[in-house]
Amino acid sequence: MPIAMPIGLIFGLAFGVLIWLLPASKVLLVAAGVASIVTVIRQPIRGLLLFCVIGAFIPYSTVQIGIRTTVSEALIMLTWASYLFQAMFFEQTAVPKMMRTERLLLALMLFSAFPFLIGQVTVVAEGNGPINWVRWLFNLSILFLVPRLLQDRKNLEHLVIAVLVGTLMLLVLSIPTYVINGSASAITPVLAIMGYGGLDVLGQSLLSLSSRMGSPWLHPNVAGGAMAMILPLAFCFGITRSGGARSLGLMVAALGGIGLLLTGSRGALFSLLAIMLWMARRRIPYLGRLLVGGGIAGMLLLMFYPPLQDRLLTLFGDDDTSTAIRFLEYTHFPQAMATFPFGIGFKTDPPVLGYTQFGISNLWLNFIYKLGLPGMLLFIAVTWSWWKEVRPESDRIILTHDNAIGMGCMIGVLAALFSGLFDHYFSFTSVLIALFWLFVGISLHETRRLRASPANTTHSPIASPDLGTSR
């Protein structure tokens, strides 16, 4: 008897009982969840594609799987389980030899066990250290899925489209909600429908950020950082494609720029502008036009949108609270280092109630806060090794259909690292760091592929010498 028949009978009986006991809406959700799990188990790449859509659209929608976690992180776990299950019973494509950056990241993950144990013993605070540590490790592990699931160019294209579709959905939800209501907290009821928890606390925290756009990323600075990282990929992908893919990329780039301004994240805005100037210096096509057009659009938005005026004027005012807090954080950081020389681990996030008063809004110093000085040095080693692998070999970058994805991911990671001078969100923020390390992995392996077979590079008309200069 074919195995499909008894399995079908079992599922039919199970859902029949569920329909009898539960409301139809919940049964449909259960059916959709089971169908998704079966699909991912059959093809692990679909789990990664689902992660990209959901992680970019509703990153903190939660699910109960024995522990409370986000749907995005649950999909990473399911993708790994599916890949390992497939590897046990079916022959898999050979995985390339680990690169130096991957080995260093693995060393960072292994080292994190030491501050994790130290924090469990020495830090008295509420929180589930083991669960937080495992979730962080899974977020980083997505880099190792890149050589296992994205060697096929078609899969890579689909993954980029999934990220852009999820980002577009987030922007289409967030921008109108904010423009119509004029408050960051206006999106809270929508997030409740999407399975977000702790909305009472979230609503209170967003009241102090009411002049800035709210989004499924919760904090406007986190949303700004996500936009700064994804926009370069959307731009590079859009100008080197045609048809629907081109429209998708350019639409995400345009709406993402507007969304970034509305979040009021100065660190993300500065980082993106700095990276765009670097791109223009490397003569990436149309960057000059984009900078001029973006400058004009930004000036018009600044002229006719008072909340943005108020946000930018705080740069030059004497009552810039966020900047004052950052100075206090830096002033008190040596005290935090002396209190926790080996880091606080994963039980809680800075500041630690009863020990310190301030966290730290800096990517690298936050690694010291959580993992100690060796943890920060390992992170620097990983990112420096990555840059040595992916940095362009010449001053002039010729953007082509073949290298656009790798180039967009590389520029996005640079923007994320630059924003680390002002914020810490790319160190231990769930889901956002998974996207960060996914971009690191894609840029790393795309660079290796392109350098291994330069003769096979397919040039797009965008790469012609006449269009290669910035205007």
pLDDT tens digit sequence for 177-210: 988 887 778 888 888 888 887 766 666 666 666 6
Question: What DSSP designation does 460 have?
Answer: P
Within 10 angstroms of residue 151's Cβ, the number of other Cβ atoms is 15
Q: What is the pLDDT of residues 338-393, one digit of tens each?
A: 999 999 999 999 998 888 888 999 999 999 999 999 999 999 999 999 999 999 88
Confidence of residue 227 (pLDDT cuts 50, 70, 90): very high
Establish how many alpha carbons lie within 13 A of residue 123's alpha carbon, considering only the half-sphere containing its beta carbon. Answer: 31
Which residues, 6 or more positions from 371, have their beta carbon under 8 angstroms from its beta carbon? 111, 112, 115, 343, 345, 378
**pLDDT tier, 471 (very low <50, low <70, confident <90, very high otherwise):** very low
Is the pLDDT at 282 greater than 80? The verdict is no
Backbone torsions φ then ψ of 180, nearest 5 degrees: -70, -40
Tokens of 392: 């362009």
> What predicted TM-score, i.e. pTM, was given to this entire model?
0.88
DSSP annotation of 240: T
Give the start-to-end residue ranges of the domains of the chain: 97-467
Which residues are CB-contacts of 209 (< 8 A; sequence separation ≥ 6)?
184, 219, 220
How far apart are the C-alpha atoms of 408 and 411, rounded to whole Å? 5
* Angle, CA of 46, 47 and 48, to the nearest 5°: 90
Share of the chain above pLDDT 90, in %: 51
- How far is the C-alpha of 255 from the C-alpha of 261, rounded, in Å? 10
H/E element, 75:
helix 71-89
Exposed e or buried b for every residue in 18-55, given b needs 16+ CB within 10 A?
Answer: beeeeeeeebeeeeeeeebbeebbeebbbbbbbbbbbb
Confidence of residue 466 (pLDDT cuts 50, 70, 90): very low
Rg of the chain's alpha carbons, rounded to an integer?
A: 23
Give pLDDT tens digits for 393-451: 877 778 889 999 999 999 999 999 999 998 999 999 999 999 999 999 999 999 999 98
- In residues, how long is the chain? 471
Q: What is the C-alpha to C-alpha distance for residues 445 and 107, in angstroms, rounded to an integer?
A: 19
DSSP readout, 21-61? HS-HHHHHHHHHHHHHHHHHHH-HHHHHHHHHHHHHHSTT-
pLDDT tens figures, 284-335: 766 666 666 666 766 776 666 666 666 556 554 545 677 788 888 999 899 9
